[in-house]
Structure 1
Amino acid sequence: MTAFPVPTMPAPPVGVVGLGQLGGSLAAALVAAGRDVTGWDVDPDARAAAAARGVRIGRELDGVVVLAVPLPAMGHALADLAVPPDATVTDLGSVKVPVLDQLRVTYGGRYVGGHPMCGTERSGHAATDPGLFTGARWAVCLEPDTELPRWLRVAEVALAAGAEVVPATAAEHDDAVAAVSHVPHLLAAALAAAAGEAGPLALALAAGSFRDGTRVIGSDPAFVSAMVEGNAGPTAAALARVQAQLARPWPELVAAGHAVRAGAPAGRREVRVPLERAALLALGRAGGAVTRRLAAFVEGHLPD
């Protein structure tokens, strides 16, 4: 297949809408990387905190505009802001198909879905960490109508923040994160609720395994509910697979789970992939990631 030719151009400015944990951390990381960043948040305290970290505050956004707002706010996040019609729009939302369906009506191929797999149970601008994305996987979505130069610009923002880029379609993303993120939030909630029913003694004896198993349900309940309900179909399917596993004989279940964890690839193989949709998606589907752009190619790695 023919590689998509992409000329070398100066990195465009970045606008970040929403300066909570993810948006604030991204803006700060990009400032540290030397990118031109403008941020906006309806909360004046969030704006002040970002300004103190070197982020320009303003309503005029250009280049790559990142929506770091709750899922229900995606559709109107830019309503009162000045964004030119040629700007690329992306987001950091934990669900992609509903956001794609909503935003493609307005932005078409200018919208490129994104989701960094990082964050903590904390929220708000006080949880900002410029190193949050370092080494994290960041899904950047490639649909049939995605404009590849815009996909590359979004990928370059993720790389500049320290992340590794995983190409995927929105539907593939939602199926995958249902299994590794959304169901774990539900399981953490169930584990915490069941332990609460067990009484004060059980909670007093809770140690590392309980703490690790319930950490994510310390997140804002509204955020978790919006995430799992926004991805209800894939999450229900992934939860059914977990319930089927729990029905297995316990020794068999324990052995199967241990084998998956112990069998994780220990190494990785460096690869070079052309800037072509099928090749990029094949990299993501194989468990690989992009780590660097090189002219009309990207460099990355596959599990080995």
Structure 2
Amino acid sequence: MADAPSLPVSTMPVPPVCVIGLGQLGGSLAAALAAAGRPVSGWDVDPDARDAAAARGVAITRELSGVVVLAVPLPAMATALDGLSLDPDATVTDLGSVKVPVLQTLGPSLGRRFVGGHPMCGTERSGHAAVDAALFTGARWALCLEPDTELPRWLRVAEVALAVGAEVVPVTAAEHDDAVAAISSVPHLLAAALATAAADAGPLALALAAGSFGSGTRVIGSDPAFVTAMVEGNAGPATAALARVRAQLDRPWPELVAAGHAVATRQVGRRPVRVPLERAALLALGRAGGAVTGRPAAFLEGWMPG
């Protein structure tokens, strides 16, 4: 499949944003956009979530236009738009924690209108009671650039992420899933193993548990259905990443501790860069560990490690 052309993007009115699913992530996004003065609407099957969002200034509607954000659990992606009216020109994105399965699910029906996304934020809490308008501030937001992604649509979604204080990391769906297997899927599995092993050690161990145990097990306080869908939806990359962890545990302990300490305490600077509105350049930025932070003109501002 040939790359989509990198065309100049003209100045256009800021499109409205409609968020489907008003729990922690979707509700926080809608609240942040409303606080920033962006036109934002939303829908949720839960009337309590709709009422909570409306109280934060979100218009409740089934009519979807502009940038439509699917903030629903992975198993619900395929049916998230059922019963709703989607404008034919709308750009659709999602906040799912894996990208290849979502692309395979939504790509056939949405085609180039779909731009996969995943903000790297959230807590072990869930539901509309966990909404936080500052949730995305400083977060990395992975945004997929596939060979057929329409760059103007990608930019519209990127502008939504930037509007709530996130930094945009251009990736492909496959690259995203490989990366998050190591830094998200495996930590959830390790947290589950650590919590279970500590319980097996007896009540004294749990009574003495303090900071390091709490930090190591925090994420497994998330909804088990959410965690299971995340790791099973990314099973191949997660299995490979878990094998790398097992290999590390077989190293001599002093060597392993020293290596891990070096990674955790490394100092990584930032150097500002300008990135052209072109797929290869954007993906090179993401692969280098950089991110997009703004779009002042016919280029994007960002940074790279250095």
| TM-score of the pair, normalised by structure 2 | 0.98
Paired residue for 2:222? 219
Between the aligned partners of 2:169 and 2:54, the Cα distance in structure 1 is: 31
Paired residue for 2:148? 145
Residue 296 (structure 1) aligned with residue 298 (structure 2): yes
Shift in Å, 1:161: 1.1
Paired residue for 2:85? 82
Q: Deviations over 1:250-275 (max 9, x none)?
A: 0011011111112241x200000001
Identity of aligned residues (%): 80
In the alignment, which of 169, 172, 186 is matched to residue 189 of structure 2? 186
Shift in Å, 1:33: 1.1
Shift in Å, 1:180: 0.4
Paired residue for 2:48? 45
Between the aligned partners of 2:114 and 2:226, the Cα distance in structure 1 is: 23
| TM-score of the pair, normalised by structure 1 | 0.98
Q: Which amino acid aligns with 1:140?
A: L
Residue 122 (structure 1) aligned with residue 125 (structure 2): yes
Q: Deviations over 1:37-60 (max 9, x none)?
A: 111000000000000000000111
Paired residue for 2:166? 163
Residue 249 (structure 1) aligned with residue 252 (structure 2): yes
Paired residue for 1:71? 74
Shift in Å, 1:3: 5.8
Between the aligned partners of 2:6 and 2:266, the Cα distance in structure 1 is: 34
Paired residue for 2:33? 30
Between the aligned partners of 2:6 and 2:293, the Cα distance in structure 1 is: 18
Paired residue for 2:180? 177
**Deviating 4+ runs (over 2 angstroms):** none
**How many aligned positions are there?**
302
Between the aligned partners of 1:105 and 1:4, the Cα distance in structure 2 is: 24
CA contact (8 A) 1:8 1:295 kept: no
Between the aligned partners of 1:109 and 1:102, the Cα distance in structure 2 is: 13
Paired residue for 1:94? 97
Paired residue for 1:281? 283
Between the aligned partners of 1:11 and 1:191, the Cα distance in structure 2 is: 47
Q: Which amino acid aligns with 1:280?
A: L
Between the aligned partners of 1:77 and 1:165, the Cα distance in structure 2 is: 24
Q: Which runs of 5+ in 2 are unaligned?
A: none
Between the aligned partners of 2:192 and 2:199, the Cα distance in structure 1 is: 11
The SS at the match of 1:49 is helix
Q: Which runs of 5+ in 1 are unaligned?
A: none
| RMSD between superposed Cα atoms in Å | 0.9
The SS at the match of 2:85 is coil
